[in-house]
Amino acid sequence: MSEAAKVDRQPYWLSAPGLVLFLAMLGTPLLLTFILSFYGFDFTKGIQPGFSLNNYIEVLGDSYFHKIFGRTFAIALAVTVICILLGAPEAYILSRMRNPWKSLFLIVILGPLLISVIVRTLGWALLIGGRGMISELLQALHITDSPFSLMFTTTGMIIALVHVLVPFMVLSVWASIQRIDPQAEDAALTLGASKFTVLRRIVLPQIMPGVLSGSLIVFALTASAFATPAIIGGRRLKVVATTAYDEYLNTLNWPLGAAIALLLLVANVAIIMSYNRFIERRYAKIFE
């Protein structure tokens, strides 16, 4: 009996150091920020301890913030849809390649995930800016006469974000393609199904879980993206993350910034949870 109890305690001792670290260094900061979001702020006196829902009322009631939250989630939706349209076919094409090429292109596609988002966003700024390469190219080809810039536009932001996030979609669809039995496709073809029917009835249903979990990652990461919207969108096209940044480091209204950040966290978690539940209900059989 005592031996059994001793064995049972082992995993708790092993995870204790990490748990203490996480409670102290992650739990406490989040809790402090939660409390901070109920404080007041005065431009002359600074942060005023207390308890009021004013910050939340301001964010949820002000059309200025509605616009920012609306823009953020609209961009996240657009980026997710484009990532599906580009990433899912690419993963499928990749799976049908042969092996030196398959591994090579997998690394080319996934490698950018490890390169700093600053560097990748800088690349787009160089390409789409007013004196950027795309503008010069279009002018050299006489497609357009005047400089052409996508900097500080929503379109530019979406293009750069798709570039940053599409590897996650390829990754996720790729993982679900690995489970497909290639013989099912052959069987369907032998039985006289057209290529399109095979794609629609055999391939698509099987990669759907990958598409869904990929969309979840892409959506959540786009909604909370900071560096790319800040560089491409600039000061005018604010998203939630850059707004929180401005409240913290420019206006110094930390309580309001805390409320904005926490609303982003809650929205993100709510979307992830409900989406997960939807996937589990819809695709329970595939995940088992």
Angle of helix 204-223 relative to helix 254-287, nearest 10 degrees, comes to 170
Count Cβ neighbours within 10 Å for each residue of 40-76 and write b for 16 or more, e otherwise. Answer: bbeeeeeeeeeeeebbbebbeeeeebeebbebbbebb
Residue 127 binds other proteins (CB under 8 A): yes
Among 1, 4, 5, 114, binds other proteins (CB under 8 A): 114
Among 77, 78, 81, 86, binds other proteins (CB under 8 A): 86
Binding residues for other proteins restricted to 263-282, rule: CB under 8 A: 264-265, 268-269, 272
Residue 126 binds other proteins (CB under 8 A): yes
Binding residues for other proteins restricted to 128-187, rule: CB under 8 A: 129, 131, 133, 160, 163, 166-167, 171, 174-175, 178, 182, 185
The C-alpha atoms of residue 93 and residue 177 are separated, in whole angstroms, by: 11
64, 120, 117: which is closest to 224 by C-alpha? 117
Binding residues for other proteins restricted to 187-246, rule: CB under 8 A: 220, 223-224, 226-227, 230-231, 240-241, 244-245
Binding residues for other proteins restricted to 93-112, rule: CB under 8 A: 93-94, 96-98, 103, 105-112
To other proteins, the closest distance from the beta carbon of 263 in angstroms equals 10
Q: Which is nearer to other proteins, 62 or 230 (CB)?
A: 230
In the block, tokens 């913290």 appear at 248
Stretch touching other proteins by CB under 8 A, among 51-59, 61-69, 85-93, 278-286: 85-93
| Cα-based distances in Å from 163 to 95, 114, 115 | 21, 13, 12
Binding residues for other proteins restricted to 43-62, rule: CB under 8 A: none
Stretch touching other proteins by CB under 8 A, among 69-77, 116-124, 141-149, 204-212: 116-124
Q: Please work out the total of residues on this chain that contact other proteins, with binding judged by CB under 8 A.
A: 87
Spatial neighbors of 277 by CB under 8 A, at least 6 apart, are none
Instruction: Decide if 219 contacts 282 (C-beta within 8 A).
Output: no
Residue 47 phi/psi, 5° resolution? -75, 130
Tell me the per-residue interface mask from 237 to 256 with other proteins, x by CB under 8 A, - otherwise: ---xx--xx--xx----x--
Instruction: Decide if 222 contacts 77 (C-beta within 8 A).
Output: no
